[in-house]
């Protein structure tokens, strides 16, 4: 997405429009998900809305932390650049910590927050990938976008089929497991990934670690169930 709308001195990239519409759709999906849980849906969405607002600010302005020299040399750098992938991870850490604290304060299971957030996190790439596939990207980029689209659809369908129970730790663990495995596979379709170890990029190694952690907890829960029985 290289094109942009030029409005006087203001430049609006089409990518920003795609991000905004994807985020809006994800928010609507999260709001609709919690409708059947009247007692907790309102406070959960309030907390998630606040968290997403701060996440956007962190992602946008973390460029000051990661590239202070460019910002000091040209303050307009803030208008057109973000914290990038590192800013996303920083925002994600802050969001998870904030929601965990809020779940304790409100006496609402953190896993309910996680389920609602998962709906948004899967809806966003689903919509965003649709936008990307409309443009003439290289074949490998299209394959990666398609893999993200398919992965999001499969996980969303799984969540909606298990809507009544997906707010428990075991189902969230299963969800994270399949998502991580899907991201490892999708990483091979990225044309710009740099192999670091065993042919895997840093991102794939991260998701491999998450996969192994999820498998560990899954096996641990099975052993606990067998002992209880």
11-12-17 Cα angle (round to 5)? 175
Average pLDDT, the chain: 80
pLDDT exceeds cutoff 60 at 64: yes
In this predicted structure, what is the pLDDT of residue 77?
Answer: 67
Higher pLDDT, 115 or 13: 115
Q: Which is higher by pLDDT, 34 or 152?
A: 152
- The predicted model gives 86-97 an average pLDDT of 87
**Structure tokens that stand for 96 in this block:** 């998870």
| pLDDT for position 38 | 57
Interatomic CA distance for residues 25 and 136, integer angstroms: 23
Among 9-23, 80-94, 172-186, 210-224, the least confident range? 9-23
CA angle at 87 for the pair 83 and 88, rounded to the nearest 5°? 130
DSSP-derived secondary structure for 72-116? HH-TTHHHH---HHHHHHHHHHHHHHHHHHHHHHHT--HHHHHHH
Determine the pLDDT at residue 1: 45
Residue 66 in this model has a pLDDT that exceeds 80: no
- List CB contacts of 49: < 8 A, sequence separation 6 or more: 27
Q: Are 201 and 194 in contact (CB under 8 A)?
A: yes
Helices 169-187 & 110-133 angle (0-180, nearest 10): 30
Cβ within 8 Å of residue 84, ≥6 positions away: 63, 66
Identify whether the C-beta of residue 83 lies closer than 8 Å to the C-beta of residue 90. yes
- Domain coordinates in residue numbering, the chain: 1-135, 141-229
Q: What is the pLDDT of residue 212?
A: 92
List the Cα angle 30/32/36 in 5-degree steps. 115
CB contact at 8 A, 52 and 31: no
Listed as own residue / partner, the contacts of 145-152 with beta carbons closer than 8 Å and 24 or more positions apart are 147/182, 147/185, 147/186, 147/189, 148/186, 149/125, 151/125, 151/179, 151/182, 151/183, 151/186, 152/122, 152/123, 152/125, 152/126
Q: What is the pLDDT of residue 90?
A: 87
Asked if the model's pLDDT at residue 206 lies above 70, the reply is: yes
**What CA–CA distances, in Å, run from 135 to 2, 3, 130, 151?**
10, 10, 9, 20
Instruction: Quote the pTM value.
Output: 0.77
């Amino acid at each position: 997405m290289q094109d942009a709308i030029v409005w006087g001195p203001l430049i609006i990239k089409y990518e920003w429009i795609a991000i905004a519409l994807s985020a809006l759709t994800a928010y609507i999906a999260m709001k609709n998900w919690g409708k059947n849980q009247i007692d907790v849906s309102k406070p959960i969405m309030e907390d998630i809305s606040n968290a997403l607002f701060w996440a956007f600010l962190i992602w946008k302005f973390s460029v000051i932390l990661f590239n202070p020299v460019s910002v000091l040399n040209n303050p307009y750098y803030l208008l057109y650049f973000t914290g990038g992938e590192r800013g996303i991870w920083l925002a994600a850490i802050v969001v998870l910590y904030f929601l965990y604290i809020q779940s304790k304060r409100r006496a609402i299971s953190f896993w309910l927050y996680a389920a609602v957030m998962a709906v948004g996190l899967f809806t966003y790439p689903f919509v965003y990938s649709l936008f990307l596939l409309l443009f003439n990207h290289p074949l490998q980029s299209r394959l990666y976008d398609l893999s993200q689209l398919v992965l999001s659809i499969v996980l969303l369908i799984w969540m909606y089929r298990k809507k009544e129970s997906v707010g428990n730790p075991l189902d969230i663990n299963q969800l994270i497991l399949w998502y991580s495995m899907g991201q490892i596979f999708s990483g091979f379709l990225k044309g710009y990934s740099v192999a670091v170890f065993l042919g895997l990029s840093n991102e794939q190694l991260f998701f491999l670690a998450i996969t192994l952690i999820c498998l560990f907890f899954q096996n641990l829960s099975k052993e606990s169930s067998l002992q209880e029985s």
